[in-house]
């Protein structure tokens, strides 16, 4: 079904900063943008996500492919092409775009509708930005064949820079997600004790997060002296440390925090180890402020890591957070996810969100870690879920 919105009031309905996107596209030399990832389509449509395809894309002989088309400087030419099952959602909450069509059933017919839209505009684009990592080969070949004289380039950087500055509404979702993950961890630790397996703890955390309105994504869990963070039949026993590192999703936005627990009382060494991790975390927070170069976060934390008696086992990492883990700002080129450190050499902007994490893989005491979600403000920073940072005490086995 095709719907046409009147262009007169479209600019007031655009859910993102269109002038910022126009500028980023201009800097990249893009005439048009074709977004096909669920997270970027959600962002560009102002929160829409296909309920039927929230986690599984395969269907029949093809797959779900949402396609959002944006033409530089022309919000009235923006269009969305979705699956026929999205029509139900569109009836309840119409999309802001002038052209919205929900009649596709696979990847090729979705991209062909987008191609027809671009041709109908008589745009003749010289450079089209596409999400090359989120564009199936069959759809990519169709786009390439339709515009043989145009250069098709990866639009990842443009879209990441666009999303890097979160709106107040986005920030609130990240705050809620972080707080509810913390609440879920506290509940699990309090209710479980000696003899509980890591698999049981993970399932309990899934239930707690779900009951709080989050979508459980993962739990990296380590117990005792082991550094293995997969759910297993290993039991949490008296005196064991427990590391919970979980991502809970609230309307697409990820709350990713890590906290520590113990069965019994921590000894002086454990108190000292967690205190040192907390010191590094706080040092990394300190320079965060709009206008400060992103690399200052590492400059504040890394000297403490190098001077630590545990430096051979300590790891510090800071990365952007939002709809995607490890999105912009990207602050290191030597982290676990391969990318360049472009944003280390650029000023932080208010509305950016950074995950700050310090990990100790102690050879005797186990996996000890704190991870926090930090929002950049004009005056400084705000830590979401800034509590439960010490040793949480486990309760009785349920």
pLDDT band at 398 (very low <50, low <70, confident <90, very high): very low
Last residue of a domain, one of 164, 186, 217: 164
* R_g of the chain computed on alpha carbons: 23
d(CA 204, CA 136): 36
Tokens of 297: 């976060």
288 and 157 inside one domain: no
226 and 141 inside one domain: no
CA angle 165, 377, 185 (to 5 degrees): 85
CA distances 262 to 156, 162, 389, Å, are 42, 42, 13
How many other C-beta atoms lie within 10 A of the C-beta of residue 169?
A: 12
380 Ramachandran zone, left/alpha/beta (phi>0; psi -120 to 50): left
8 A C-beta contact, residue 221 and residue 247: no
130 and 205 inside one domain: no
Any domain includes 159 = yes
How many other C-beta atoms lie within 10 A of the C-beta of residue 51?
A: 10
Q: How many domains does the chain have?
A: 2
pLDDT band at 12 (very low <50, low <70, confident <90, very high): confident
Packed helices 107-120 and 137-146: angle between N→C axes, nearest 10 degrees: 20
Higher pLDDT, 56 or 41: 41
How does pLDDT run across 269-298, given as a tens digit for each residue? Answer: 999 999 999 999 999 999 999 999 999 999
Residue 382 has pLDDT above 90, yes or no: yes
CA distances 170 to 98, 134, 165, 253, 365, Å, are 24, 23, 9, 8, 38
| Pairing assessment for the beta strands 32-35 and 74-83 based on DSSP bridges | unpaired
pLDDT band at 55 (very low <50, low <70, confident <90, very high): confident
7 and 25 inside one domain: yes
Any domain includes 289 = yes
- pLDDT given for residue 8 in this prediction: 54
- pLDDT given for residue 7 in this prediction: 53
Half-sphere exposure of 194 (CA within 13 A, CB side): 5
- pLDDT given for residue 52 in this prediction: 95
Any domain includes 333 = yes
Exposed/middle/buried for 8, CB within 10 Å: 0-12, 13-18, 19+? exposed
8 A C-beta contact, residue 276 and residue 263: no
The CATH number assigned to the domain holding 151 equals 3.40.350.10
Q: What is the DSSP string of 235-301?
A: EE-TT-EEEEEEEEEETTEEEEEEEEEESS---HHHHHHHHHHHHHHHHHHTT--TTSBTTHHHHHH
Last residue of a domain, one of 139, 164, 189: 164
Residue 129 has pLDDT above 70, yes or no: yes
Q: Single out the residue of 221, 261, 220 nearest to residue 241, CA to CA.
A: 261
Tokens of 102: 């929900």
Last residue of a domain, one of 131, 164, 197: 164
322 and 264 inside one domain: yes
Helix (H) or strand (E) holding 12: helix 10-13
Q: What is the mean pLDDT of residues 225-241?
A: 98
pLDDT band at 213 (very low <50, low <70, confident <90, very high): very high
100 and 156 inside one domain: yes
99 and 193 inside one domain: no
182 and 289 inside one domain: yes
Q: What is the mean pLDDT of residues 178-195?
A: 97
Any domain includes 69 = yes
135 and 178 inside one domain: no
How does pLDDT run across 85-109, given as a tens digit for each residue? Answer: 999 999 999 999 999 999 999 999 9
Any domain includes 371 = yes
8 A C-beta contact, residue 283 and residue 370: no
How does pLDDT run across 151-165, given as a tens digit for each residue? Answer: 999 999 999 999 999
d(CA 15, CA 12): 8
pLDDT band at 11 (very low <50, low <70, confident <90, very high): confident
d(CA 267, CA 241): 11
Residue 3 has pLDDT above 60, yes or no: no
pTM above 0.85, yes or no: yes
Residues contacting residue 182 through CB under 8 Å, at least 6 positions apart: 257, 259, 385, 387, 388
The CATH number assigned to the domain holding 211 equals 3.90.230.10
- pLDDT given for residue 4 in this prediction: 52
CA angle 47, 177, 66 (to 5 degrees): 25
291 and 379 inside one domain: yes
- pLDDT given for residue 115 in this prediction: 97
pLDDT band at 10 (very low <50, low <70, confident <90, very high): confident
Residues contacting residue 325 through CB under 8 Å, at least 6 positions apart: 247, 254, 256, 319, 355
Tokens of 63: 């797959």
**Mean pLDDT across the chain:** 95
Any domain includes 193 = yes
> Which domain range does residue 73 map to?
2-164
d(CA 252, CA 231): 24
217 and 307 inside one domain: yes
95 and 25 inside one domain: yes
Residue 383 has pLDDT above 90, yes or no: yes
- pLDDT given for residue 397 in this prediction: 45
d(CA 106, CA 174): 32
Any domain includes 398 = no
């Amino acid at each position: 079904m095709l719907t046409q919105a009147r262009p007169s009031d479209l600019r007031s309905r655009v859910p993102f900063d269109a002038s910022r996107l126009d500028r980023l596209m201009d800097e990249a030399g893009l005439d048009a943008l074709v977004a096909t990832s669920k997270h970027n389509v959600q962002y560009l449509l102002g929160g829409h996500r296909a309920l039927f395809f929230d986690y599984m894309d395969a269907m029949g002989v093809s797959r779900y492919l949402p396609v959002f088309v944006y033409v530089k400087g022309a919000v009235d030419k923006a269009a969305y092409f979705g699956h026929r099952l999205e029509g139900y959602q569109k009836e309840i909450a119409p999309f802001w775009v002038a052209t919205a069509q929900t009649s596709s059933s696979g990847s090729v017919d979705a991209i062909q509708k987008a191609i027809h839209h671009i041709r109908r505009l008589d745009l003749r684009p010289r450079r089209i930005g596409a999400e090359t990592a989120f564009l199936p080969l069959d759809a990519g070949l169709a786009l390439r064949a339709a515009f043989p004289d145009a250069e098709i380039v990866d639009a990842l950087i443009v879209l990441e820079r666009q999303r890097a500055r979160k709106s107040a509404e986005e920030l609130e979702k990240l705050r809620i997600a972080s707080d509810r993950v913390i609440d879920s961890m506290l509940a699990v630790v309090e209710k479980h004790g000696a003899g509980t397996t890591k698999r049981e703890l993970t399932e309990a955390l899934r239930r707690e997060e779900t009951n709080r309105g989050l979508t459980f994504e993962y739990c990296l869990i380590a117990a005792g002296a082991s550094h293995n963070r997969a759910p297993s039949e290993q039991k949490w026993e008296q005196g064991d440390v427990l590391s919970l590192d979980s991502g809970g999703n609230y309307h697409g936005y990820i709350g990713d925090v890590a906290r520590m627990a113990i069965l019994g009382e921590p000894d002086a060494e454990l108190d000292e180890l967690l205190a040192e991790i907390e010191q590094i975390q706080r040092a990394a927070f300190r320079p965060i402020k709009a206008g400060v170069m992103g690399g200052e976060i590492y400059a504040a934390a890394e000297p403490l890591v190098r001077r630590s008696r545990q430096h051979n086992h300590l790891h510090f990492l800071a990365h952007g957070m939002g709809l995607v883990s490890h999105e912009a700002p990207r602050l290191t080129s030597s982290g676990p996810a391969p990318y360049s450190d472009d944003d280390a050499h650029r000023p932080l902007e208010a509305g950016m969100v950074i995950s700050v994490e310090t990990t100790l893989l102690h050879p005797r005491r186990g996996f000890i870690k704190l991870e926090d979600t930090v929002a950049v403000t004009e005056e400084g920073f705000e830590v979401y879920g800034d509590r439960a940072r010490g040793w949480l005490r486990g309760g009785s086995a349920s």
